[in-house]
Amino acid sequence: MRIGVLTSGGDAPGMNATIRAVVRAGIASGDRVFGIYDGYRGLIEGKIEEFTRKDVSEILSKGGTILGTARLPEFKYEQVRALAIKQLQKNDIEALVCIGGDGTYTGALRLHEMGIKTIGIPGTIDNDIASTDFTIGFSTALTTACEAIDKLRDTSSSHQRCSIIEVMGRHCEDLALYSGICCGAEYIITNNSGLDKEKLLSSLKNDRLAGRRHAIVVISENITDVYQLAKEVEVYSGYECRATILGYIQRGGTPTPEDRLLAARLGKYSIDLLHEGITGVAVGIVENKLHYTPIEEALTMVNEPNEELHKLVQKIS
């Protein structure tokens, strides 16, 4: 087979390890594998190059994506996708492995409907793809967030401050929930727990009156203006307060062993599925077993709140 591979949407650590696995597993199965640069944008522009095994050596531990990535909202238009099909036909590419999040999956689904064999691999730090237990990049972003929160605890405890830390996740709570638990945050605020500002302020005040020296509040992005919240905490709680937005630092860095392993497993699995004639699916890991779901279904699946972890937070925060 002649198989294309691309990365699209927000980059995630482990995308390179995934590209490497797709290229090497493909070549080992007798395929020819083509790297497509800059996501769907590069595809319509014909930025396509055949990869050898050597082309993907020494990228396993690198953050980012050697292919580059882009967001292309215009891909929703059929005439734009027709340009992609044209490029694929020109290069005789019959199958496409698309690494990214839900926007990437939507593009892959549309191409599948237009006759291209597609596979979606979950590559995003958000862990917001419900058809897999974990996405490639989440473990690394979680590690980065934890390192940062531990450091912020050092300084906030020295100064007897409250530290509000905003982590990424778009609309998924996992980065906040997991990092909050791993770092012993006093408060974890996510779209599922919600922000009850009055309750937070009065709890912080009571903590302070009871002699607590510092507090860590981990909050998901897109919930509130954390700088404003820090000002309100200062006014009402008795704590000095600082807000820190971790931001894009969470997207970079060398992937953790967990992300590398997931990348290797899902990359090879994608090639296996293509050889079995299974396409239009999103691959993932469910209870540590390889799993695939039709992309159409994967896109409608909803991330349920993790009740077990929420209960745990209530007991140990």
Residues that bind ligand F6P (CB under 6 A): 10, 101, 124-126, 168-170, 221, 251
Nearer to ligand F6P, 13 or 169 (CB): 169
Nearer to ligand F6P, 15 or 215 (CB): 15
Write out the DSSP string of the chain: -EEEEEE-SS--TTHHHHHHHHHHHHHHTT-EEEEETTHHHHHHHT-EEEE-TGGGTT-TT-SS-TT-----GGGGSHHHHHHHHHHHHHTT--EEEEEESHHHHHHHHHHHHTT-EEEEEEB-TT---TTSS--BTHHHHHHHHHHHHHHHHHHHHHTTEEEEEEE--TT--HHHHHHHHHTT-SEEE-TTT---HHHHHHHHHHHHHTT---EEEEEETTS--HHHHHHHHHHHHS-EEEEEE-GGGGG-SPPPHHHHHHHHHHHHHHHHHHHHT--SEEEEEETTEEEEEEHHHHHH------HHHHHHHHHH-
Whether the Cβ atoms of residue 69 and residue 98 lie closer than 8 Å to each other: no
Rounded Cα–Cα distance for residues 134 and 292 (Å):
13
Least distance from ligand F6P to the Cβ atom of residue 263, Å: 17
Tokens 């605890």 locate to: 153
Nearer to ligand F6P, 168 or 229 (CB): 168
Least distance from ligand F6P to the Cβ atom of residue 168, Å: 3
> What does the buried/exposed string (b/e) look like for 144-167 if buried means 16 or more CB atoms within 10 Å of the residue's CB?
bbbebbeebbeebeeeebbbbbbb
Measured from the Cβ of residue 194, the count of other Cβ atoms closer than 10 Å reads 9
Nearer to ligand F6P, 31 or 221 (CB): 221
Nearer to ligand F6P, 104 or 163 (CB): 104
Least distance from ligand F6P to the Cβ atom of residue 100, Å: 9
Least distance from ligand F6P to the Cβ atom of residue 292, Å: 22
Least distance from ligand F6P to the Cβ atom of residue 87, Å: 24
Q: Residues with catalytic annotation?
A: 126
Nearer to ligand F6P, 168 or 177 (CB): 168
Least distance from ligand F6P to the Cβ atom of residue 126, Å: 5
